[in-house]
Amino acid sequence: MAGKTALVTGASRGIGRAIAERLAADGALVAVHYARSVEAAAEVVGSILDAGGEAFPLRTELGVPGDTESLYTAFDAELVRRGIAPRLDILVNNAAVSGSARIHEVTGELIDRIFSVNVKALLLLTQEGLIRMPAGGRVINVSSAVTRKSYPESVVYSMSKGALDTLTLALAKELGPRDITVNAVSPGFTATDMNAKHRTTPEGEARLAGLSVFGRIGRPADIADAVAFLASPDSRWITGQFLDTSGGTHL
Ligand code: NAP
C-alpha cells in the first residue's frame, strides 16, 4: 500500500488503533483520527513511526456542527505539508458511540447522540472523502454483528449499524463505475473500552467468550486483519459485502 493514504476514524483506541497500525504496517500513510484522547492518539502515531510506518494524528470531534469541514481542512493541510496533493485511497469508518438501552429505556436524546455520530457524521464524512478518492479506492465500514443477530439490549445502537449496512449496499453500486469498493466488517464482542463494563468479572468475561465458537473474546487485531484484506488490491472483485468478523458468534 505504499503511496496510499488512509483515514481511520476513531483510531486512538480499540479496533481503530489496530486497523491504523495494520494499514501503516502494510505501507499506507495513515491519518489517526480521534476526538479527545490526545495522548492515546500520540501513542498510536508513535508506535507506527517506531515500526517504520507513516502516520499523523487528526483530531476532530464528530457529531458537532462543522465536523466534516474541520476534519478535511486538517487532513488536506497535512498532506500538502508532506508534498502530497489531497487524496484519500482508503477510508475506514470506525469511530462510533454505543449506548445500552432497551426499547422502554430509549430517549430522544439517546437517539440524537448515537445517530449524530454513527450515521449523520459518518455519512457526511464519507461524502466529502469520496471527492478525494481515486479509482481503486476503498470504503470500509465497521458495522456490528448486531445487524444480523438480535441485540435488543442496545436497540438504538443496533439501528445505527443497520443504517451503516444500508449505506454500504447503496454506495457499493454507486461507486462501482469509479472502481471503488465499499464493504463492511461486522465484529462481535471485541476486547475494547466500548464493552469493558461487561468484562469486569470472570463470569462476564466467560459469558462473552462463550458467544464465539472459538471460546474467546475477539481481539482488535482479529478485526484489523480482515479490514486489511478489504483495503488491499486482493479484494478488488468484492463489494457491497458484509464480512462477519465475530468469531462465529451465535452460529
Ligand atoms: P472504542 O474503544 O470505544 O473507541 C472508540 C474510538 O472512536 C476512539 O478512538 C474515540 O476517540 C472515537 N470516537 C468516539 N466518539 C467519537 C466522536 N464523537 N468523534 C470522534 N471520534 C470519536 O471503540 P471500539 O470498541 O474499538 O469500536 C470501534 C468500532 O467497532 C465501532 O464502530 C464499534 O461500533 C464497532 N464494534 C465494536 C465492538 C466491540 O465489541 N468493541 C463490536 C462490534 C462493533 P477518543 O479516544 O478520542 O474518544
Say yes or no: CB of residue 115 within 6 Å of ligand 1. Answer: no
Which pLDDT does position 230 carry in this prediction?
98
Which pLDDT does position 144 carry in this prediction?
98
Domain assignment of residue 56, yes or no = yes
Domain assignment of residue 251, yes or no = no
Domain assignment of residue 208, yes or no = yes
From ligand 1's centre to the CA of 97, what distance in Å? 6
Which pLDDT does position 241 carry in this prediction?
98
**Beta-carbon neighbour count of residue 112 at 10 Å?**
13
Residue-range definition of the domain harbouring residue 72:
5-245
Q: Give the residues of the chain that fall short of pLDDT 50.
A: none
User: What CA–CA distances, in Å, run from 179 to 55, 121, 153, 230, 233?
Assistant: 26, 24, 38, 14, 11
One-character DSSP codes across 87-101: --SEEEE-------B
Domain assignment of residue 211, yes or no = yes
Which pLDDT does position 250 carry in this prediction?
87
Asked if residues 165 and 184 have their Cβ atoms less than 8 Å apart, the reply is: yes
- pTM for the whole structure: 0.98
Q: Which cell numbers hold the place of 6?
A: 488512509
Question: Count of domains in the chain?
Answer: 1
Which pLDDT does position 199 carry in this prediction?
83
By DSSP bridging, strand 242-245 and strand 181-187 are: parallel
Which pLDDT does position 132 carry in this prediction?
98
Which pLDDT does position 196 carry in this prediction?
86
Q: What is the CATH number of the domain that holds 224?
A: 3.40.50.720
From ligand 1's centre to the CA of 86, what distance in Å? 26
Which atom of ligand 1 sits closest to the CA of residue 40? 46
